[in-house]
Amino acid sequence: MSESSLRVVWVYPDLLSTYGDQGNALVIERRARQRGLKVSRQDVRSDQPLPTSGDIYLIGGGEDRPQRLAAERLRRDGGLQRAADNGAIIFGVCAGYQILGREFVNDLGRSEPGLGLLDITTVRGDGERCVGDVLADVDERLGLPQLTGFENHQGVTHLGPTARPLARVRLGRGNGIGDGTEGAWRETVLGTYLHGPVLARNPLLADLLIKLALDVNALPPVEDRWYEALRAERIAAATVNPA
């Protein structure tokens, strides 16, 4: 991180922002400011070059055609790979998660190269679309409470040997291949199928991204109880009315 501020980059909001993904950027900004950090946020449209000096890059969900356009432009731009090489934190949701991988199936039914930042491959699931509430236990190395979120995707994702599952579903489909895994991560690159927006529903995951960006093990606690009420409500709703 630079001396002066945490630089958050929201990647291609014009193409990838189907489920209020801006909320993820807002939550990171707020949680960082609550710790006294200065934060700058740059929203980079798909016709603009991506800065490579960001600390945290957020890439959201999207429908199939915008997802293909985003992947094409990100490959051409190359900035996200350079940022990852610089050690930036990259966090992808759903379509954004799929783009971070080796390849996914695009809106034309063809295999589309991703950015190769995660060792994952996404194919079109031949069953029902994965839609509904998700509860998932996070990889114990990450030290987070159970995640709650909402998924809506047709693609299903296989993890290669260098990607670790981000979590294991208790409810919902996650990566959708029947092994219970949800999302993937490797060092500073993390991806999930969870919308919500996921960081509003799981602010400790936002804190994890900030800690990784700052390279610290802990942040001062913040007084914020709203999320616990939201979390309890969503867990109850998901449990009473599973998808």
Among 94, 130, 153, 158, which one carries the catalytic annotation?
94
d(CA 169, CA 218): 26
Judged by CB, which is closer to ligand GLN: 52, or 122? 122
Would you say 25 and 9 are in contact if contact means Cβ atoms under 8 Å apart?
no
Q: Which of 144, 173, 151 has the alpha carbon at shortest distance from 94?
A: 151
Judged by CB, which is closer to ligand GLN: 51, or 132? 132
195 catalytic per annotation: yes
Question: Is residue 153 involved in binding ligand GLN (CB under 6 A)?
Answer: yes
Pairing of strands 167-171, 6-11: unpaired
d(CA 138, CA 133): 16
Question: Is residue 18 involved in binding ligand GLN (CB under 6 A)?
Answer: yes
Question: Is residue 95 involved in binding ligand GLN (CB under 6 A)?
Answer: yes
Judged by CB, which is closer to ligand GLN: 63, or 85? 63
Question: Is residue 71 involved in binding ligand GLN (CB under 6 A)?
Answer: no
The torsion angle over the Cα atoms of residues 185, 105, 181 and 9, rounded to 10 degrees, is 30
Q: How many residues bind ligand GLN (CB under 6 A)?
A: 12
Q: Which residues bind ligand GLN (CB under 6 A)?
A: 18, 61-64, 67, 94-95, 152-155
Catalytic residues: 94, 195
